[in-house]
Chain A
Amino acid sequence: MVAMDLSEMEVVYQHPHALVDMYTHFCPGCTHGVAHRLVAEVLDEMALSERTIGVASVGCSVFSYNYLNIDFVQAPHGRAPAMATGVKRVLPDHIVMTYQGDGDMISIGAGEIVAAAGRGENITVIFINNANYGMTGGQMAPTTLPGMKTSSSPNGRDVEQAGYPILACELLSTQQGASYIARRSLHDPKNIRMAKKAIRLAFETQVRGLGFSMVELLSTCPTNWHMTPVKAVKWLEEKMIPYYPLGDYKVHPTISELKV
């Protein structure tokens, strides 16, 4: 252990205020934790926690209502965008975000999310794509890669039978009401920085009343992928990014001019 006198030093990084200081249920190395931390940092930087309402989804994602230090409601599986619509329309001066997994958002909730984007609902969606249903034991999700083994596709996803993974950013960016749609990854420091900036821009979109914003975060599920956390981030980089290209899919002109 290397000891130093901390009183002589400045704090470069500390636990964000908008993140509750508690032990989480997430598996070791699960990047849900990184996503939570980035959302909390952005809420702190924009001083939004006091007027932000979260809508939690069903999945490992659900406990965001315990971990983020903001008000929360919880929606039935896939219905977070519908609930967020109601909250935002009743409380338009509040910031409303959903935090949803891939099984939640683009499987059972695919209808809700497309409709919310089409309506241009002024809400922000944080979408965690870990290529499986995490909480229930790693079953195949619409986002599972072709050939990828899961507990319900033990021989690998057969596209002849189960079709191809759904590309949420590509799909939602075709909607007129969508103003900010971006895909980022949580596998390394550089990409985590870029992910944070995208989350910031998504909230900036809502603050300006510009319409629907969504950030897709490619994420690991080391437990159900049967990998160590270190191996899982490598796998994400090598296998997921080629199928899910990172980048900005739609950016409102006001937001592209913004410097954050």
Chain B
Amino acid sequence: MPLKGTIVVNENLCKACELCVVACPQHVISLNKEIITPRGYHPAHLAEEGCTGCGTCALVCPEAAITVYREKRLIQGQEA
């Protein structure tokens, strides 16, 4: 089972360039057409289940707008 991850996009920084959308290996990022930021962009968001927290989107983002999270890897025999 791959670890589960998630991203949080800073909507003040995102400029809807879509570089993260095409870079995501799981194809789970899209632009959120429901929102228009004060500067007029539809910001990127995690649209579907399946993020593994790989960080590829953050690597290509020119605005450093993405924070990436991943569930903690539990070492066998150890309490959470």
- Cβ-defined contact, B19 with A29, below 8 A: yes
What are the residues of chain B within 8 A of A37 when measuring CB–CB? 61-62, 64
Least CB distance, B26 to chain A, in whole angstroms: 11
CA distance A2 to B50 in the complex (A): 10
Nearest residue (CB) in B for A12 is B68
Complex CA–CA separation, A202 to B69 (angstroms)? 30
Q: How many chain-B residues does the 8 Å CB contact rule pick out?
A: 41
Q: Is A260 positioned at the interface, with any CB of B under 8 Å from its CB?
A: no
- The reply to whether B64 and A33 contact each other, CB–CB distance below 8 Å, is yes
Closest to B51 in A: A2
Q: Chain B: which residue is nearest A28 at the CB level?
A: B15
Please name the residue on chain B nearest to A6 by beta carbon. B69
- Measured in the bound complex, the distance between the Cα atoms of B33 and A223 in whole Å is 23
**In the complex, how many angstroms separate the beta carbon of B10 from the nearest chain A beta carbon?**
8
> In the complex the two chains form, is B69's CB within 8 Å of A11's CB?
yes
Q: How far is the CA of A205 from the CA of B15 in the complex (A)?
A: 35
Interface residues on A, range: 35 or more
Instruction: Report which of B60, B62, B69, B71 forms a contact with A26, defined as CB distance below 8 A.
Output: B62
CA distance A145 to B53 in the complex (A): 38
Let me know if B64 and A16 touch, CB within 8 A: yes
User: Which residues from 44 to 80 on chain B have a C-beta closer than 8 Å to any C-beta of chain A?
Assistant: 45-49, 51, 53, 55-56, 58-64, 66-72
Interface centre among B12, B23, B60 (most CB of A within 10 A): B60
B residues at A contact (CB < 8 Å): 4-6, 8, 10, 12-13, 15-19, 22-23, 28, 32, 39, 41, 45-49, 51, 53, 55-56, 58-64, 66-72
Q: 19 A-B residue contacts at CB 8 Å?
A: A1-B45, A2-B47, A2-B48, A4-B6, A9-B6, A10-B71, A11-B69, A13-B55, A16-B64, A19-B64, A23-B12, A28-B41, A29-B17, A31-B62, A33-B63, A188-B60, A189-B59, A229-B19, A230-B22
- A residues contacting B by CB (< 8 A) are 1-2, 4, 6, 8-16, 19, 21, 23-24, 26-34, 37, 40, 188-189, 192-193, 222, 228-230, 233
